[in-house]
Each structure stands twice: as C-alpha cells, then as structure tokens.
Chain A
C-alpha cells in the first residue's frame, strides 16, 4: 500500500494525473564514493531493515558479494581497481536504484499502480500490483530491478520509503560508519556535495564532481565521484543515462495513435457496411444457377 504520509506524484499505467496539489520537499541520498571504505554495513543494514536475507553465495575471488543485485539484495558494493594518475585506485560504488526523476521503469510498467513515484522523488515498487512481466527491467537505464525467482515480482531499493515517511534516514545511511552515505533534502545534498567536490579538487582530483544525470531528469540517489568525467570507471556507471529511445517509442505517443487507428478500422468497417451494404450474390448469378438446376 502507498504510504498515506507520502503523496503519490506519478503512478504506472495511469493516464490521469495523480496527486498534484501538495508539493513536498525533494529528498536525496548522496553517496560519497571517495569516502567509502567498502565495509558493506549498508548492505547489511538494508537486509536488516527490510528483513530480507539473500542466499549465502560463494566467494568469486573478489570483494563483490553478492556479485550482482538480486530480488533479495537491493544494494551491492561494486569494487573496481583502476590506474589513474599513475597510481592504483580502488573505486567502491554502492549500486542500487537511482530513483530517477523521470523513471524508465515507471514509464514501461503496464500494471496500474505497481510503480509509483512519491512527490519527494522516491520511486517505489508496490509488489501487490506487480504482474511480473519484467517491463521495468526493460525500461530501467541503470539495470536495477530484479524479478524474484520465487514469486515473479520485481524488487529494488525503496530508498526506505517507510522510514522516510516517518522522518528517518534510509537504513544504509544510518549504518554508514564513515558518513559516505548522506540523506536529506536534495538541495542540502547538492550543497554538501559541492563542499566535498571542492575538498577533492584541493586534494588533486581535478575532475571530481557530482553525479546527478540530467538525462533522466536528475536522480534522488547521487554520487560524489573523484573522476566525474569518467563515471564508467565505477563498474560501468553510465555517463549519460536516459530512457532508451526504443522504450520511449514503445511507450510514447505511438500507442494512443495505434489505439485510435484500431478503433478507426473497427468503426470504418461498421460504416462501410451501413453505407455500402452487404456484398451479396447477384440476382443474375442466382438465376443462372436456378436455370442449371432446372435442366
């Protein structure tokens, strides 16, 4: 169920406007990659708060564990070793839903109310309305939603919408021991990020910057990156993410037009019948057949 204390701004597969009268403050989670030590406390806190235990996997010889997001692991740390400025750097990015202002998942979803966007910017999946088609996966520019093998429902980070609704920070932000995960209004997070970027630049990271990609209207999970010019270094973070043109074509203006066209064919047929009349065997041919029979 939608949380009553949060207003729903947008709802999947719904053609009329959702609640618009009240403007609430936009929230954001800021992940300062430069301050992350890769302890995975956020992963554990996520599992704890949401009360979901993923299967214990196997070690793949790297720090990443689990190796990918799953229906039961809504956030994972992605570890990358790169050489930058002639030295080894260990980049650790907490991956998960970015809570786009223009969410591709919501755009693609065919089930009314299975994906909603609160006016504070959080994009939430309501599994009770989810039909398990996986269109959200098709629509997402960040490859985040996962379909559960147990119940075929889609799952992802909720930005702890239940906690945010009662003025609590998301569990991951609460658990982070280094302050690498900050939570607050989007404006405050941008201000905080600006200070961090200034600091990083003073330390020699000339290309440090904030990751708040405008191709998806900005996000409600943002990163401070030491190499903001190369987001791809961070386990393939897309440089200019946007909803795929294929998804826009699929879910955009073509469908209402096609619906009208189908209606026009149906009505056109009806009016053709009414105006031109049925195509019956002519009297002439019927008489010919009768004559044949009379012989």
Chain B
C-alpha cells in the first residue's frame, strides 16, 4: 500500500514481517520473563494461562525470538557498520536528545544511535539465548555453576534489553513519521531528508 507515490520505500514486506515476529516474541518474553524476575511482576503470568504455562511457554518463545532475530541480524548487519560520521553523530547525541538536530552530521539509512542499538541488541540476544539454554531445565541439565552463571546473565541481560527496547520504541514514537515504516514500509521524503539525508540522496539521486 502506497499512500503517496512519491513516498520512499524503507522496508520490504518480508523485512517488516521479520521485525514483527521479533517484536511480538520480545513483548511476550519480556512480560513472562519479568514475572519470574521479581515477585512484583508475578501476576503477569496470568496473561499466559497461569504461572506453570508461563514457565513452559517462555523458553519456546525465546527460541522463536533467537531464530527470528538471527534472520533480522543478517538482513541488516551490512547497513549497521560504524563509520566516522556515526561517531561524530554519537558525540553530538546529547544535542539531538535536547531537541536540536541542526549540528548533526548527515546520516545514511541508520544513524550512529541506531547502529549502537543494533549491536547492543545483538549482544544481548546472544547472551539471552546462551544463558537461556543453560537454565532450561525441561531439556537440559548443565553443571550447577554454569546454571547459576546462566541465571545471573539471563536476568541481567534481560533487564538491560528491556531498557534498550524501551529506548528503541520511544525513539520511534518521538521521531514523528517513523512508525509507519514499521507498518507499511514507507516514509515521506521530508522525513528522510530531515533524519537520514545521506540515505535520502542515495534513494532519490538528489
């Protein structure tokens, strides 16, 4: 669906579908995981058909997220290589957060912040997957020290990743005109020119 024929295509349908699978599995994992993280969140298990079902389902959702994120990782890895312009962007990120983007360097499809997010999430996903397997007692029985380390890493990386995703989601809400890229794949030319001018030049030839 193209709202305006002059809108720019940012994501292919399969890329969007992939992102949604990761996103949905992440939300379900965060809700069920938080339930086991701290007693304050335990009532969240009711969303999954009760505490035992939450315990059963959580790791399978984890496998789904790990596999779908891996696909997403290979789709977007080449677009997330750090450049000197990204480092300059990062050094000026505070001005951006303060609401002034006039001094920000020109950015390609992704800016430095998005790239840091990409790699931070990739590391967290790897830690979550490995530590998650270590503590998955339904299928595995690893050495007790490994299991204990797995429990620590899983809780720490999980909490950190929830924080990262909050920032990821908020950034999309904050920067108006972004969320539609996730829904139907297009952004306006104005949006692209303002936030990702390098990419705008590349796709429009201007």
**Residues on A close to B: CB < 8 A?**
13-15, 108, 110-112, 131-135, 137-138, 143, 147, 152, 244, 246-247, 249-250, 254-256, 258-259, 261-262, 265-266, 269, 272-273, 276-282, 285-286, 288-289, 292-293
Q: Is the interface of A mostly helix, strand, loop or mixed?
A: helix
Nearest chain A residue, comparing its CB with the CB of B102: A282
Cβ B52 vs Cβ A112 within 8 A: no
Provided the pairs A15-B40, A254-B156, A273-B174 are in contact, do residues A138 and B135 lie with their beta carbons within 8 angstroms? yes
Of the candidates A112, A256, A262, A285, which one forms a contact with B163 in the assembled complex, judged by CB atoms under 8 Å apart? A262
Number of A-B contacts (CB under 8 A): 127
Which A residues lie within 8 Å of B203 (CB)?
none
Of the candidates A138, A277, A280, which one forms a contact with B151 in the assembled complex, judged by CB atoms under 8 Å apart? A138
Interface residues of B in 48-72 (CB under 8 A from A): 51-52, 54-56
Interface segment, B10-18, B75-83, B186-194? B186-194
Cβ A265 vs Cβ B38 within 8 A: no
A111 to B36, CA, bound (A): 8
Which B residues lie within 8 Å of A265 (CB)?
163, 166-167
B201 within 8 A of A: no
Which B residues lie within 8 Å of A249 (CB)?
152
Interface segment, B20-28, B84-92, B112-120, B142-150? B142-150
A156 to B121, CA, bound (A): 40
22 residue pairs bridging A and B, Cβ less than 8 Å apart: A15-B39, A110-B42, A111-B51, A132-B56, A132-B137, A133-B137, A137-B137, A137-B147, A143-B144, A147-B137, A152-B52, A254-B155, A259-B159, A261-B159, A261-B163, A265-B163, A265-B167, A278-B174, A282-B194, A285-B194, A289-B188, A289-B193
Cβ B151 vs Cβ A279 within 8 A: no
CB distance from B163 to the nearest CB of A (A): 5
Cβ A286 vs Cβ B52 within 8 A: no
Interface residues of B in 156-199 (CB under 8 A from A): 156, 159, 162-163, 166-167, 170, 173-177, 188-191, 193-194
